[in-house]
Structure 1
Amino acid sequence: MHFIRFLKVPTTTSKPTSNIITVSTLITISTDLSEAFYNGNATLRATLRTDTASRQLLAFKTATWTPGLRNLSIQFTFTASKDTPSNGIVCVSATENRADDMRTLFAGPSESRILSAWSTPFDVLQNGSKAEAFVERKLQLSAGNMVRIWEETREDIARHIWPGGLAMTSYFSTLPTPATGTLSSLNSLLSNPSLRVLELGAGCGLAGIVLHTLLPSTTVTLTDLPITTEITSKNLTSNSTDNNSSISYHPLDWASPLPEWCASTTYDLILVADCTYNTASIPYLVGVLDELCKLSPEVVILLAHKVRHNSEEMFFEMAGEKGISKKESVVFEMAGDRVDLYVMGR
C-alpha cells in the first residue's frame, strides 16, 4: 500500500496587480512509515477546486510518477475573476490502482494501490496562503457509506493511517463475505445491536470510526496517548452523525492504571490495529489487555498485525502467558502489504 502525501502543502502565489494565480505543492508517494517510495509508473490527476457545494474546477494537471522519484512538484495556474470563491482544495489521485474503495482493497501480494490525498481548504486568492499540515483520505465503505479521515503530513507516526487499520476497515466493509475469508466468531458478535467496542492505540481513529459508521447502534470508545487528541477529535467531527453521542475519544496510557471510566465498563470487542511494531510498549499493551479481559471475561480481541520484524512475536508469547491466545485468523494480502487479522481471547 502506498500513500500520496504533501511534503509541501499547497500554497498560493499571486501579485497585487495581477489576476493570474499560481498554486504549488510538493508530493511524494510512499509506504506507511515512508521507508520506501513508490517504485512504479503512475499517472496522477491533480485538481484545484473551490471549497463550495459546486466544487467548481479552477485548474487541473496530469503528472507522471516514475521509478526512482522521491518527490514530485505540481503547479496550477488559473485566472481569477471577481466571482471566484476564495477557498479552494487540492486533490491528487492516481488514475489507476486507486486504493480509496475499501471493498476492493484486497489484492495479490505484487499488486500495489495508491491512496488519494485531499488538502485542507485554503485561500487560493491570497498571496502566501497555504493549507494546514493535514491530508484527508475519503474512504468508500459501501453504497452510501464513506468516512473522511484526516492524518498529519508531518513525521509523527502516531497521527498517520497504517495498513492494519485499512485491513480492518476493508474486512468490515466486505462483510458478510470478505475476499480474505471470514472470521466466523465475529459474525454473531457484530450482529449485537448493543455492542460495546474499545479501540486501543487508535491513532487517527480509523477502525473504530468505520465500525461505528457501518454499525451505528454500537457504542465505540477510541483511545490512544494524548498526542493523538487533536487528530482523533478532528476525525470524530468530520464523521459526525445523529448517533455521534455513541462514539467518543479518551486518552489512555497503557503504562498507567486503567482510569475509572474504563475500569467501570465492560466491553464486547477490543480493536487493536498496528500496535505491536514498538516492542518496548508490548508489555504495557499485554498488561492492558490482561486487565480488560479480567473485567470482561467474554471480550473478543480483533488484532490487525503487519509483521515488521521478528521481535514482535514477543507480543503473542507474552499474551499467551496471560492466557490470551489466537482463536481464528485470516491473511490479508492488501495491495502489496500482508496484514494478519487475528481473533484473540481467553
Structure 2
Amino acid sequence: MVIPLYYIRFFKPPPDVVECNQPFSVVWTIETDLGDESYWQSIPVTCNIASCQDPSVRLRVFSDKTKTKKEVLQPWTKEIKLDYNPMRGGVVCTRLMIESTSANSSLQIVFKLGGKTRRHPVWTYCGLFENNDCLWILPAWTCPIKLMNPTKKSQRVQISLPEPVSSQQAERILTVPGGTVRICEDAFQSIARHVWDCGLGMCSYIFQQTQKGILDFNNKNLIELGSGTALVGIYAAQCSTPSCVYLTDLPEAIEIMEQNVALMPPQNNVEMVVKSLEWGPIPEKTSWLEMPVDIVLLTDVLYNQGSHDVLLDTLDWLVQKQTKILLAYKERNPDERVFFEKLKQRDYQIIQVEEEDLVCEIYWIQKNSYNDL
C-alpha cells in the first residue's frame, strides 16, 4: 500500500542569527512535496529544541490571542503544542523567543507531528497520522540558529527589538545505522534544491535492504544522475561503505550538493565527487569518472518527458557488464511511463520491487545482454 507523504514546510524559516529575548516569527504549513496541496484536516503539531549544548536555553511561544501568554520549554524534555488549522488557509504564523543565561551558543528547533504515533525508522521523527486518513507527516528542522548576547542598546533601553532576518533554508534529517544524515533544502519552491517523495522512498528502501543483507554497496562505485540536494547519494554513502559516490546534476544544483556533502560526518571515508553533468551522448570531459560504475541511482527523474531520450543516451554510455540501475519513480503524469517502453526498446530489463509501505515505485534495471537480475 502506498501511504501519502506530507511535509511540514517553512514559508518563513527562523533566522540564522538571533539575540537572546528577541522575538521572531516562523510561518509554516503542511503540504505535498510539489506544494500543490495543503493538508485539509487539523493536525497536532509540536515544536521543541532538538539540539543544543547549553542547558540554560529556553524556548517561548506567544499565543495568537494575547501575544504575551507563554510556555517554557526545557531542552530534551518538553514539547510546545501548536495548532494546524486548515480552516485558516493552512498557513500558521508562530511567534517564538529564545532565552538563555549564556549566549553565543547554537541550537536547532524541530516542528513535528505531535502525540503518540508510529515513527518511521528512517525519516527521523516522521510520524504516521491516523485519523480519517493514514499518512506520513515529515518534520522540518531549522538550520542551526546562532544565539547572540543582546546588544548594549537593547540592554539599556526597553525597546521592541526588530524582527531578525529569516533564514532561506531548512533541514531534513534521516537516520542511518549509528548516525544521521542532515540535508539542507531551500525554503522557496525549486526543483533541484528540494527533498522529494522519491528521495525519501529510495533512502527507506536502501536502509531496509541493507539491514536485511540483500543490498550491498560496499566497495562499489555509485553515480547518481539528477542528484538535486544529493540526499540519496549521501544516504547510500552513510548507510554502507561504497568506494566512491559521484553526485551529478546541472550547474544550478552544484552549490547545494557541496553544502550537503560538507555536513557529512568527518569519519565517513567514502570518496564523494560532485560534478556538473548534462545528459546526452558521452561528453568529451569525463576524466573525473575514472572507474567503472556499479550502481546508477535515479530518483524522480522522469517528470520531464523532453529529457527521457538524453537520459537514455547517458545510461547507454554509463552502463557496462556489472552495472545495475536503481530507479525511484512517482507518477506525476501518465505519459511519463513511455520511458519504460523506451528502456525495453534499448534492450533493458525492468523488475519492479514489491514491498509494503512504499511512497513511490522502485525498479531494478539492467541491460538484457548483461542480465543477472
TM-score by length of 2: 0.77
AA aligned to 1:65 is: Y
1:46-61 alignment, distance < 5 Å: 46-47=47-48, 52=53, 54=55, 56-59=57-60, 60=73, 61=80
Shift of 1:57: 3.3
Instruction: Give the equivalent residue in structure 1 for 2:92.
Output: 72
Shift of 1:29: 1.0
Shift of 1:297: 2.6
Instruction: Give the equivalent residue in structure 1 for 2:262.
Output: 237
Tell me if the contact between 1:12 and 1:22 (Cα under 8 Å) persists in the aligned partners.
no
Q: Which of the residues 209, 231, 252 maps onto 1:206?
A: 231
* Partner Cα distance (1:251, 1:111) in 2: 39
1:209–1:5 CA distance, 2 compared to 1 (3 A):
same
AA aligned to 2:138 is: L
Unaligned runs of at least 5 residues, structure 1:
179-185
AA aligned to 1:272 is: L
Instruction: Give the equivalent residue in structure 2 for 1:41.
Output: 42
Q: Which of the residues 257, 270, 287 maps onto 2:296?
A: 270
* Partner Cα distance (1:67, 1:120) in 2: 26
Would you say 1:316 and 2:340 are equivalent positions?
yes
Tell me if the contact between 1:10 and 1:24 (Cα under 8 Å) persists in the aligned partners.
yes
1:176–1:56 CA distance, 2 compared to 1 (3 A):
same
1:328-343 alignment, distance < 5 Å: 328-330=352-354, 333-334=357-358, 337=359, 339-343=360-364
Count, aligned residues: 327
* Partner Cα distance (2:85, 2:93) in 1: 13
TM-score by length of 1: 0.83
Shift of 1:318: 1.5
Partner SS, residue 318 of structure 1 = helix
1:119–1:8 CA distance, 2 compared to 1 (3 A):
same
Would you say 1:2 and 2:27 are equivalent positions?
no
Shift of 1:72: 0.5
1:75–1:279 CA distance, 2 compared to 1 (3 A):
same
Instruction: Give the equivalent residue in structure 2 for 1:135.
Output: 170
Tell me if the contact between 1:9 and 1:130 (Cα under 8 Å) persists in the aligned partners.
no
Tell me if the contact between 1:13 and 1:23 (Cα under 8 Å) persists in the aligned partners.
no
1:303–1:20 CA distance, 2 compared to 1 (3 A):
closer
* Partner Cα distance (1:13, 1:240) in 2: 24
* Partner Cα distance (2:217, 2:17) in 1: 54
Shift of 1:325: 2.4
Q: Which of the residues 130, 136, 148 maps onto 1:113?
A: 136
* Partner Cα distance (1:195, 1:14) in 2: 44
Shift of 1:134: 1.0
Partner SS, residue 291 of structure 2 = coil
Shift of 1:89: 3.2
* Partner Cα distance (1:3, 1:287) in 2: 34
Instruction: Give the equivalent residue in structure 1 for 2:112.
Output: 93
1:50–1:247 CA distance, 2 compared to 1 (3 A):
closer
Tell me if the contact between 2:201 and 2:328 (Cα under 8 Å) persists in the aligned partners.
yes
1:106-255 alignment, distance < 5 Å: 111-125=134-148, 127-142=162-177, 144-175=178-209, 187=214, 190-191=215-216, 193-244=218-269, 246-255=271-280
Per-residue CA deviation, residues 306-327 of structure 1 (Å, 9 max, x unaligned), is 1111111121112222112203
Query: Percent identity over the alignment?
Result: 25
Tell me if the contact between 1:164 and 1:306 (Cα under 8 Å) persists in the aligned partners.
yes
* Partner Cα distance (2:14, 2:22) in 1: 13
Shift of 1:244: 4.2
Would you say 1:261 and 2:287 are equivalent positions?
yes
Partner SS, residue 39 of structure 2 = coil
AA aligned to 1:149 is: I
Tell me if the contact between 2:46 and 2:112 (Cα under 8 Å) persists in the aligned partners.
yes
